[in-house]
Chain A
């Protein structure tokens, strides 16, 4: 106790900076956002207030609920797509690739795109999926279709494809880690006990990789849920997501109170998802001995 008191100035000096950082850049902005959500708007000005009109508007106007549900749907599809691509890839890297050098090279090639600008990677899909894009050129030159198709770009499918491509590293990274941490002895033990490779996969590898599935899915879902670039670049008229709506409220629509209420709602949705994910993760966690 005396020791604590004697070193208090040093302690305060050491931790005041990060504490101030959290306070100024996280707690205060969230506080402002949440309180502005209760203000009223009298165009073009906003007045401090405490009323639930903004929330009432969000839940009564089908425009907002449709967009929120669509965003949830797209984020869910992106998560499933990333899992469907990421799990086999991580499994292949960990269990099939024998050479450590080749494994690291392939793993790096999954992660390296993260160093490239996000915009650039999203834009690439515009070039691939467009009417005179790479995909159409391939289809026409191989004679599968006679004229270029315009069905690939500017729709929700294009958004899901683009977002899966962009966020798949966030799925592969935790999956690679959990699969790599499964002791090979457990797989040998399963086979020793008369269980073939297929059932060993379902009864040993899948249960022990659930932590990675949950972590990867949570990250992918949250990132996709908050995305606003893919709808603009490759999404069509029915591609608007929650983040685009938010942008509009703080920009063209000039309705900060409504925007703040919407942002608070998004925050609550993400927090609930994180809470569920952490519950699932704790329930499925096992001590690897």
Chain B
């Protein structure tokens, strides 16, 4: 089945005077997907969401929802609803009035009885029955968040836009709401497009993640694709942490390439096939959890000196240095593995092994 994407951006760009918030961008979101726009502040993720919602006018390109061109349409004529970052609840209305607000429009033609039943349905869905007559000012942050959700879903939009919906909540509450969001998405069966700067949140919730950087899409993929095969050092470092090191290609042998990373250390990688044949300077990426303590006589090892060790409960985070490498390398040891190494005190020398299949190689001259 070749379905039209529910939301499609075609070469959409947004500029404010000389500042470009979003370079011409293409993006397609399929019906029922949970897509996250992820990136640091100022990367254009919120602008993208606001362009879909209709709060910003595109400087170029077309925005399509359900195949229809909505580029020129105001927010109140688009089949999407938004959960705002600060919830934007109407302070002069009760919880029930806030939720019923979007149903009371004449053009909707919804009978009063149905309106009431839909409001209670939405309240039940977000677990807020019993608070209908409170004002937003009398609610906790988590409760406001739920009212904002109920107000947006009560209109049964085709697409729900969520602008950093959990960022104002404390850590414990946020984890609970992540589960709630996932459940709501499954129960409603509609498309969710969420903006966040929190990679854990994006990894936990999304079907697909759109990683953005400086007004451009850096990579689109499922959480595991992005984690296992980041396209750029930027993505590698943003999705999970990655040790990024400068290296030089010194030889190729079938699907393996040998790389020098300073101080005479040679590391072999089996993931360099995408690197151009004539490339010399490259960037290596090694996930902290892939660096494993080992015996010195194993192949593909790094000899590192402990600079600092940080206790993280179930594991130990180590900051390590190596001769000829100007930046620290981080790794995490499970508590159970600590006993196997001689010492983790600062100054101790440890040997780490990394599987050639776990050494990522990116084309590029200089470390970001």
Contacts and interface: CB of A to CB of B under 8 A. Distances in A.
Interface of A: 183, 185-186, 188-196, 199, 203-204, 207-208, 286-289
Contacts of B136: 287, 289
A194 B91 contact: no
A185 B82 CA distance: 11
A289 B53 contact: no
B278 interface: no
B101 A190 contact: yes
Interface in B86-141: 86, 88-92, 101-102, 105, 107-108, 135-137
Contact of A286 (B74, B107, B108, B135): B135
B84 A195 contact: no
Given A194-B76, A195-B76, A289-B137, A185 B101 contact: no
B76 A192 contact: yes
A191 B105 contact: no
B151 interface: yes
Contact of B84 (A189, A204, A286, A288): A189
Contacts of B108: 194
B76 A287 contact: no
Contact of B151 (A188, A193, A196, A208): A193
Given A191-B74, A193-B102, A287-B135, 11 more contacts: A185-B86, A188-B75, A189-B82, A189-B88, A192-B55, A192-B82, A193-B101, A193-B105, A195-B102, A196-B76, A287-B136
A96 to B, nearest CB: 16
A32 B190 CA distance: 75
Nearest to B53: A192
Contacts of B101: 190, 193, 195, 203
A147 to B, nearest CB: 53
Interface residues of B, number: 29
A286 B75 contact: no
B91 A192 contact: no
Contact of A195 (B82, B91, B105, B137): B105
A186 B87 CA distance: 9
Nearest to A206: B92
B155 A186 contact: no
Give the secondary structure class of A's interface.
Answer: helix
Which residue, of A185, A203, A207, has the highest number of chain B Cβ atoms within 10 A?
A185
Contacts of B137: 286-287, 289
A183 to B, nearest CB: 7
A208 B81 CA distance: 23
Nearest to A208: B92
Nearest to A193: B102
Nearest to B108: A194
A194 B102 contact: yes
20 contacts: A185-B84, A185-B86, A185-B88, A188-B55, A189-B84, A191-B54, A191-B75, A192-B53, A192-B75, A193-B101, A194-B77, A194-B108, A195-B76, A196-B74, A196-B76, A204-B90, A208-B91, A286-B135, A289-B86, A289-B144
Nearest to B137: A287
Contacts of B86: 183, 185, 289
Given A199-B105, A287-B135, A193 B81 contact: yes
Contacts of A186: 88, 90
Contacts of B82: 188-189, 192
A288 B105 contact: no
B92 A286 contact: yes
A75 to B, nearest CB: 29
Contacts of A286: 91-92, 135, 137
Contacts of A208: 91-92
Contacts of A185: 84, 86, 88
Contacts of B80: 192
Contacts of B91: 208, 286-289
A194 B155 contact: yes
A190 B152 CA distance: 11
Contacts of B151: 193
Contacts of B105: 193-195, 199
Contacts of A203: 101
